[in-house]
Amino acid sequence: MIESILHIFFFWFISWVFLTLMDRVDEHNLIIWKFQTPLAYTFGILTAVSFVFSIDYFNFLYPLIVGMCIEWIIKNKLEYPSHVFFLFVLALYFGYRHDLLPQYVWYTGLYLGISFLISNYIKSRTDKNSKFYRYFYTSYLSKLSSDIFLWIILKEPLLIVFGLSFAYSCLLTKKYLPGRNP
């Protein structure tokens, strides 16, 4: 069990660092030079590859990753070509591993439903300028709460390790690489 925890923490920590770096380079102008776009694409490929290794090693992550990708599409988070390219590379893998779709399609739908219900409930019940609202979204508690529900449904405690490694890696990357908005 300890080995599995270390594997999932490693895979997901690396995945989220690459994803956040792709976002920082492209969207937040962390690096401004002529190779900015190729660097963002490289981080996108590295993120997709690390997601692929994660799904191959832990199949139960399939609904979570597919659900997050669908959520990004619905929430219009694909603002830069590197983001679209990242999802394209990942979609190629989803097509290759279509054998997992029937097994996890309901869990993917549940993840999406839970994610939207939690975010809509919090948005409707709290003031957007309140400390709780800002903390809930900036600390990634919104994503962690969806992971907790998926953990309960799938009875897979390693999803909590994923959620914690996701939040920790994103917070660290944003702390040490704050980026520059144009």
CA–CA distance, 157 with 48 (Å, rounded to integer): 24
pTM: 0.83
pLDDT in tens, 24-70: 888 777 777 778 888 989 999 999 999 998 888 888 888 888 988 99
> What is the chain's mean pLDDT, rounded?
85
Q: Please state the φ and ψ torsions of residue 3, each to the nearest 5 degrees.
A: -65, -40
* CB burial of residue 135 (10 Å; 0-12, 13-18, 19+): exposed
Range of the domain at 162: 2-176
Q: What angle do CA 167, 116, 47 make, to 5 degrees?
A: 40
Tokens describing residue 52: 């692929």
The residue behind tokens 């300028």 is: 129
Does some domain include residue 25?
Answer: yes
Number of domains in the chain: 1
Does some domain include residue 70?
Answer: yes
What does the pLDDT read at residue 49?
Answer: 93
Does some domain include residue 182?
Answer: no
Is residue 182 over pLDDT 60? no
pLDDT in tens, 123-172: 888 888 888 888 887 777 888 888 888 889 889 888 888 878 877 877 88
